[in-house]
Amino acid sequence: GLINVRVPLPFNVAKFVTHVPSTTKQIVTIGQTLDGSSPSFLRSQVSAALFYHGRKSICVSEYIYQPNFIWSPSAVKSIVSSFIPNLTFDTDSSSSEGFIYWASDKSANIDVASKLVKALSLEDGKYVSLRTKFDNLANAGTFQAQFVTSGEQVTTSNIDITKLAIVENISLLKHLDVVTTVEEQGSIALISQTTTKDLDLDSVESYVKKLGIPESFLISVAK
């Protein structure tokens, strides 16, 4: 079976070990580090606790993620499947549509997402949910809003793939991999403070040098 335990550090070592079933063969810790290095302090503490209390036969593995890691159903599936390959999941969300709005956390347009959600909720028979979060590392402060529309009230988690992503600040493209969050044939709307009126939109140079769009982003979109 699977046991999900959130262990704050430092933790009660003796109590932790007593909650580990006698049939346990493997414990997987999920830890966060700035550079993705392993082992984390959590794993070392768990390993030491098991060793000290004579549970030396238990294998301690670890999955490390960095602060910019995005938790979502497919992310959890990927993590668990790396340790339990044959485990099946049901993450179907075909009955709903999700959208993602990215902005600088100091942006004057940070409330655009909530206004969009309000507008969508005015439609009869449509339910809209909104999740917001802040990232203090990327771009010195990033705001993300995820809103999901559905014909019925559903519980939603982080969005893996969306049909539409809106990026309020082009500089965010230097720090975030927005392309991977958009499904094939989906759309990415970039809000630019620079007018495109006199630009040659058939020239890559216009996008890179005039609008400040990273060339790596354009390459990813073109694939």
What is the per-residue pLDDT across 124-179, written as a single tens digit (0 to 9) for each? Answer: 888 888 888 887 767 678 898 988 888 877 666 677 788 899 999 898 998 888 88
Q: Which residue's entry shows tokens 């989906």? A: 186
Residue 18 CB contacts under 8 Å (≥ 6 apart), including other chains: none
**Tokens, residue 181:** 């969050």
Nearest to 189 by CA among 98, 101, 70, 96: 101
Q: What is the pLDDT of residues 98-123, one digit of tens each?
A: 889 999 888 888 888 888 888 888 88
Nearest to 49 by CA among 11, 1, 3: 11
Phi, psi of 23 (to 5 degrees): -90, 0
Q: Residue 74: what residue type?
A: S
List beta partners, residue 133: 144
User: How far is it, in rounded angstroms, from Cα 37 to Cα 52?
Assistant: 25
* Percent over 70 (pLDDT), the chain: 85
Q: Residue 221: what residue type?
A: V
Q: Is the peptide bond before 39 cis (omega within 30 degrees of 0)?
A: yes
Give the pLDDT band (50/70/90) at residue 2. low
Residue 105's pLDDT is 87
- Give 38 or 126, the one with higher predicted confidence: 126
Domains delineated in the chain? 13-66 (no CATH), 96-222 (3.40.920.10)
